[in-house]
Amino acid sequence: MMLDMFSLKGRTAIVTGGSRGIGMMIARGFIEAGVDKVYITSRKAGQCDEAAAELGPKCVSLPQDLSTLDGIKSFVGRYLEHESKLDILVNNAGAAWGAAFDEFPESGWDKVLNLNLKSPFFLTQALHAALTKAGTHERPSKVINIASIDGIRLNPQETYSYHASKAGLIYLTRRMAARLIADNICVTAIAPGAFASEMNRVARDQGDEVAKRIPSRRIGRDEDMACAAIYLASQAGDYVVGETIAVDGGVALASPGGL
């Protein structure tokens, strides 16, 4: 059956930043698509535990700050206490920082680049053996990096480190994909547009106003993000390697600075 191509039955996933926003949309979608187990992580333990409880018995909370190599090592060690392999890794945890050019601080640069760009690389590196163990020529394992349309086109805000990190993540996706496909690991990315979340409070709090500037005339829904991730994570996306899919209602095609 064609619909079986989108099933995640028998697979195990990790979604970083999975306790809220886009990460939680993806984790919930994976569960509905039949994943055996999805492990979510976030820096705030209480929030991570609450999200796992809401998502049900197929979701496991492993809270961790992934912005440092020590944090990544700790998280991977704890994951491997539960599982011996990994089918799907979603690198979603991220941060943003906005400040005027003359006032932009080093802390705002380092925090964003560390979490948005360095962590996806080193977490994937640390889980390379587990991903390789799960992947085969006919059924590769998956790494999905969550970038942003801000990595494709400019927005009017002075988010220098965020723009740089997301543009870098898109090209990092291509570089990792070229190497890891040899180990039966498909690496791809999603570039979300306006979705209601803690990071995108404008879309969350002023959704109707934001929608007027989107060609599709609405902000993203939970199922828009979940379905894109399910496509890439499932057999349906096995032949997609190194690509970034914009899930943005057409914003990336519009004139720069529209959002």
Catalytic residues: 162
Q: Provide the token pair at 65.
A: 């700050």
Please name the helix (run of DSSP H) or strand (run of DSSP E) that holds residue 24, with its range, or none. helix 21-32
**Interatomic CA distance for residues 107 and 243, integer angstroms:** 31
With a CB cutoff of 8 Å and minimum separation 6, the contacts of 136 are 184
* CA gap 130, 150 in Å, rounded: 31
Q: What is the DSSP string of 123-135?
A: HHHHTHHHHHHH-
Q: In angstroms, rounded to a whole number, what is the distance separating the alpha carbons of residues 11 and 168?
A: 29
What is the C-alpha to C-alpha distance for residues 69 and 49, in angstroms, rounded to an integer?
Answer: 23
User: Which long-range contacts link 107-115 to residues 24+ away (Cβ below 8 Å)?
Assistant: 108/161, 109/160, 109/161, 111/67, 111/161, 112/161, 112/162, 112/165, 113/161, 113/164, 113/165, 114/67, 114/68, 115/66, 115/67
198-220: string of b/e by CB count within 10 Å (b at 16+)?
ebbeebbeebeebeeebeeeebb
Q: Cα(54)–Cα(171) distance, rounded to whole angstroms?
A: 35
| Residues across the chain | 259
